[in-house]
Amino acid sequence: MKTVTVELGARTYPIHIEAGILARAGEFLAPLAKGRRVAIVTDENLSVHMATVQASLIAAGIASEAIVLTPGEGSKSWATLEMLCDRLLGLGVERGDHVVALGGGVIGDLVGFACSILKRGCQFVQIPTSLLAQVDSSVGGKTAINTKAGKNLIGAFHQPAMVLIDPQVLDTLPIRELRAGYAEVVKYGLIDDFAFFEWCEANGAALLAGDLALREYAIAHSVSAKARIVAADEHETNGIRALLNLGHTFGHALEAETGFSQALIHGEGVAAGCSLAFGFSAAQGICSGQDAERVAAHWRDAELPDGLAAAGVGASGARLVDHMRHDKKMAAGTLPFLLARGIGQTYLDKSVDLADVEAFLDAQPR
């Protein structure tokens, strides 16, 4: 078993990574449950994994109660948040209890936010079942719901008590979801680890095809990178954690334009967004066009969108920039952008003129 630690003082927590760990969840949850019933929140697509976790809890002598939600981004809403809080309160969840989030990014974000506000804060454990959640959203304590104004605009920083990652569950993931999660893996190489980007170029196809050892390595490497960044800048105050948003400013605008729907799921938006960030950097003379094309080529090799056309977005630059103006990182009328001097050389730029972004987007193929 590989264990990565997120060092946050008194709130330090472990991330355990092991094939088959889902069937041992009860062993890890027993010390946290302290004999009390555990609430497990999941979605309708994950009944097989729910059965595995509940069986492990029974073996550990722990009673559990399942709360099963509708899959998809639509569940990251005020209505579902209210329903979930009411259900958890009805189960008598106390501040010292640990709610289990069993699912992808939607479940993790929603459950984490509910736990951040329930009785002014109770505990939770992340058991991520998608690659995207395993390498990104389950680690670091960002929790949120979506609103009409945009994605993740209502939320809180609320760290889990533990993360359990089982790479074997990825065998049940639809290939589209697996590819979307892979975009977040590659992102770590694009940020500040050129050697890892090269590793992805060499091994990405086999990873997506099912190689368990490669998946375990990619997850552990990605989680270690995120743990290091989160420990250095938990609340995104000094610019270090902002690097994790590479591709997200462009990507969230594309997701907003497609209605946060299945037309373009989050990891696909991140891939297209990373391509656009490198393309914009090249257009501004900050990085080479060769680097921008190398990034785009890797997305194409992984069958991920490399820009507006592949993402199916035909909106004008003005419309996409308008979506960006609702970004939660907007401050005093200025939106910071993650740009790149090269692959593995990402930096935060607070001087980008949105008129330049609009002109760049208008020049992109549709």
Active site residue: 76, 215, 248, 323, which one? 248
Active site residue: 76, 98, 142, 323, which one? 142
Cβ contact 79:139 at 8 Å: no
Alpha helices in 210-313 (DSSP H): 212-232, 248-257, 266-283, 289-301, 308-311
Active site residue: 179, 241, 298, 329, which one? 241
Let me know if 94 is a catalytic residue.
no
pLDDT at residue 151, rounded to an integer:
83
pLDDT at residue 211, rounded to an integer:
98
pLDDT at residue 329, rounded to an integer:
79
Cβ contact 155:137 at 8 Å: no
pLDDT along the chain (366 residues), means of 10: 97 97 97 95 96 97 97 94 98 96 97 97 98 97 91 94 98 96 98 98 98 98 98 93 96 92 94 98 98 98 98 97 86 87 97 96 96
Task: Identify the three-state secondary structure at position 155.
Answer: strand
Let me know if 16 is a catalytic residue.
no
Shortest CA distance to 183 belongs to which of 307, 266, 71, 264?
266
Using CA atoms of 50, 51, 56, 57 in order, give the dihedral in degrees to the nearest 10. Answer: 70
* End-to-end CA gap in the chain: 46
Rounded CA-CA distance 81/79 in Å is 5
pLDDT at residue 332, rounded to an integer:
67
Measured between alpha carbons, how far is residue 22 from residues 27, 36, 37, 48, 235 in Å? 10, 20, 18, 11, 30
Let me know if 252 is a catalytic residue.
yes
Token pair belonging to 237: 């105050």
Rounded CA-CA distance 336/239 in Å is 10
Let me know if 142 is a catalytic residue.
yes
pLDDT at residue 334, rounded to an integer:
82
Let me know if 350 is a catalytic residue.
no
Let me know if 298 is a catalytic residue.
no
